[in-house]
Amino acid sequence: MKKIMVANRGEIALRIMKTCKKMGIQTVAVFSEADAHAPHVQFADQAVLLGPAPSNQSYLKGDLIVQKALELGVDGIHPGYGFLSENAEFARAVTQAGIVFIGPSPQAMEIMGSKLGAKAAVKNFQVPLVPGTAEAISDIEEAKSIAHSIGFPVLIKASAGGGGKGMRIVEEASEFEDALSRARSEAINAFGDGSVFIEKYLGTAKHIEIQVLGDQKGNVLYLFERECSVQRRHQKVVEEAPSAVLSTDIRKKMGEAAVQVAKACSYTGAGTVEFIYNNGDFYFLEMNTRLQVEHPVTEMITGLDLVEWQIRIARGEALSMNQDDLRINGHAIEVRVYAEDPLNQFLPDVGKLRRYREPQGNGIRVDSGVYENMEIPIHYDPMLSKLIVHGSNRQEAIEKTLKAIEEYEIEGACTTLDFCRFVLKHPNFIDATFTTRFVEEHFKPDMLRESVPSNIEALAAAVAAELMHRQAHLNGAQLQENTLSSWQLRQGF
């Protein structure tokens, strides 16, 4: 494999290309008009324009991507995550064109792409499932009856869903019918499929996922777990590896269950099996048939490059290690830096990045796809970068992450950094008792307003002016009106 096209954008495209360069593989970037000057375009050996900024006119045009790949003599296509990464038809079109799709087979995607299909596939493999329906629900009265039998609260979920879309928590029976209607409508708009099912809602649970790798020889390994319980709108913001609450025995059982899930669909490449964990019990949720946003924390604790292994497996190589060879080394934390306003329900806050500086240091990694003075596009996910920190233990990792957050310099957009700082300092995070309801139970915007004065720049200027006055009096100088400017007298800056 000598040339790989990365069918994605932003930080994940750049991250994949860096591994390709390390492996001596040429890269081809794809881009929209909005991303003409993006870092991933500048880094690639070649780049091809797909179309206007909207993703349905650029990054989602699978036929065009395949056509451009053929024209440029590409050997493989890596889809990253999001966009076409879990689109079985795209994967099939790539392979039919004689190009290697760097990911699982279309058949594995189809099995695990439906949450109900995934449940059906694993039920004979001794994998525990959350109590709920095994099929999509269409009749409202039947759905009500099932919800009552499961017991409220329940969770309505889109079968084809992801990212929290088509999902509703229903606390009481009186709310059920309206929630079902809304979940269906949202699922149709997001996925073109209104199928929904019902599960028991485990409100005090943790979200723990297992990274797996499978080769084309039938070998599957688990690369331990990631704790991903801190979420807003059912989407993750802070992740860590390993989990602070799993015993060695539970870790082994969850890992082996994840391997069984992967074998149920003959999985190849890197994938993630998601579980709900509650007081020693765990239940299968779904499988993500792609690389995860939070994959770097697994790389930090295992020393493995997951993208490298995706490529090696795609070109037919067997896994060179067995389960007993794998060890957990220290602790890693990832915080996602979104251009969002935590004070305004985490709504996107795009604009021009007037200043952008990343933290640096031993054990600190930043995956990003932005640059200073860049206009943040409104058409895509608002994530600016990911901060990943490794420490010898969890406490050290938390302390290093907090220090790194302070070293970020971002102006021009609100970000989630203040929120992430709040999380890492919270007692429930420190003692690892937090659950997926952390935001609902512990976070209110006023908490950030109290910790960061809105007039911080004015206060800094006032302090500087006072220091200058004091210095001038100490020197016995007589200040003239035209010398009061902070730009002329820099003492105290």
pLDDT one-digit tens code per residue, 435-447: 999 999 999 988 8
Q: What pLDDT does residue 126 have? A: 84
State pTM to two decimals: 0.85
Residue 290 catalytic?
A: yes
Distance CA 9, CA 438 (A): 31
Decide which of 445 and 329 is more confident: 329
Ramachandran bin of 73, using left for φ above 0, alpha for ψ from -120 to 50, beta for the remaining angles: left
Mean predicted confidence (pLDDT) in 186-191: 86
Structure tokens at 292: 């995860």
Count Cβ neighbours within 10 Å for each residue of 74-103 and write b for 16 or more, e otherwise: bbbbbbbebbbbbbbebbbbbeeeebbbbb
**Catalytic: which of 15, 184, 226, 290?**
290
Give the β-pairing of 26-32 and 3-6.
parallel
pLDDT digits (tens, 9 = 90+) for 449-465: 755 555 677 677 778 77
Smallest CA-to-CA distance from 395 within 244, 236, 209 is with 244
Mean predicted confidence (pLDDT) in 371-386: 94
Decide which of 196 and 282 is more confident: 282
Cross-strand bridge partners of residue 389: 333, 364
From start to end of 62-178, where are the E strands? 76-78, 100-101, 154-158, 167-170
Sign of CA dihedral 124, 125, 130, 135: negative
Residue 52 preceded by cis peptide, ω within 30: no
Question: Residue 200 CB: number of other CB atoms within 10 A?
Answer: 17
Q: What pLDDT does residue 479 have? A: 47
pLDDT at 363 over 70: yes
Domains located in the chain, CATH noted = 3-102 (3.40.50.20), 131-200 (3.30.1490.20), 206-451 (3.30.470.20), 455-493 (no CATH)
Mean predicted confidence (pLDDT) in 264-275: 97
